[in-house]
A = this chain, B = another copy of it.
Amino acid sequence: MHCFVTGAAGFIGSHLVEKLLAAGHVVTAYDNLSTGALTNLDGAISHPRFRFCTGDVLDLSNLRQEMSGVDFVFHLAANADVRFGTEQPRKDLEQNTIATWNVLEAMRTCGVRRIAFSSTGSIYGEPDIFPTPESCPFPRQTSLYGASKLAAEGLITAYCEGFGFQAYIFRFVSILGPRYSHGHVIDFYRQLREHPDRLFVLGNGNQRKSYLYVDDCIRAILKAIRIADNKVNIFNLGSDETCCVDDSIGWICEALKVEPTIEHSGGERGWIGDSPLILLDCSKIRSIGWMPTLTIRESVRQTIEFLLRESGPGSCATGAVENALAVAAK
């Protein structure tokens, strides 16, 4: 089929593009390159079934033009960082909610009826039930990011009812792996490259989160689309384990061979809208025969390995990167 991928030059988007091409599909990639990078698509760019369009999801007429003849839309373009909602309160509304409306409208006018959407476990806010199932009690939003994704989900499901769309909505935990570009692992990595002797941590370090490796994430998406066939198909996507921020710091420091003094900002939440605990009930996606292949620890390790490869030799402790690369490659 002819797939249209928004946010195709981003972390998850670029992995999806590669898998879609490998599965024999035609791929039109759409990205404004504001946070994505063409280098993420190095493995796809010269493929005969691949086409790249520089374009913004806020540009409805361009979206319409590029989407013509498409069978399936993977809508991944988004402001993906939950932390800065209160500093830029319009960003999530525009880039996540209004952008999703644009994608849906372009689809409607182009006659495209199938969509997969990258939602987030953040839309559960601070739930009372762990692991949190897709059908948990009506959640209350605690971040502008979560609110913007909730709004996007609402639009998508309303388009399913109103215009005969079929949707696959994936509520992700944080995703790790090669080309990973934001989140706590990269923040800690960057801090430790700059000053290997100290690390500043938002919150008390006890926030517990679930993570998933990007390849496992893409396999789940493609499997769900192949197997599930309701009008609206909603899946949590995560692993059945959690790790706390301090665990993760231990693995990162081990890989980098550094022993920094750790300073916590304190509090159960790292920032406004941060969740002290994220653990999704993934029994629904597991029931169709998917399971993750990498543990969280291994996902963190592979992510650090990627960051080290990408950055090349640098500071950390003298010679630490080379050692770390050797360790990480084991």
Contacts and interface: CB of A to CB of B under 8 A. Distances in A.
Contacts of A157: 125, 140-142, 147
Contacts of A154: 141, 146-148, 150-151
A162 interface: yes
B272 A161 contact: yes
Nearest to A167: B140
Q: Determine how many copies of this chain the complex contains.
A: 2
Contacts of A144: 155, 158-159, 162
Interface in A36-62: none
Contacts of A147: 151, 154-155, 157-158
Given A141-B158, A143-B158, A161-B273, A108 B89 contact: yes
A163 interface: yes
A138 B86 CA distance: 25
A291 interface: no
A219 interface: no
- Chain A interface, DSSP helix/strand/loop, else mixed: helix
A105 B91 CA distance: 13
A232 interface: yes
Interface string A126-168: 0000000011111111111011101101110111011100000
B141 A138 contact: no
B85 A162 contact: yes
Interface residues of A, number: 41
A134 B143 contact: no
Contacts of A148: 154
A113 to B, nearest CB: 14
Interface stretch (A93-101, A178-186, A209-217): A93-101
Nearest to A124: B138
A161 B138 contact: no
B158 A273 contact: yes
22 contacts: A86-B163, A89-B162, A90-B105, A93-B101, A93-B155, A125-B157, A136-B137, A136-B138, A137-B137, A138-B138, A140-B157, A141-B154, A141-B157, A142-B158, A143-B158, A143-B161, A144-B155, A144-B158, A147-B158, A150-B150, A151-B154, A161-B272
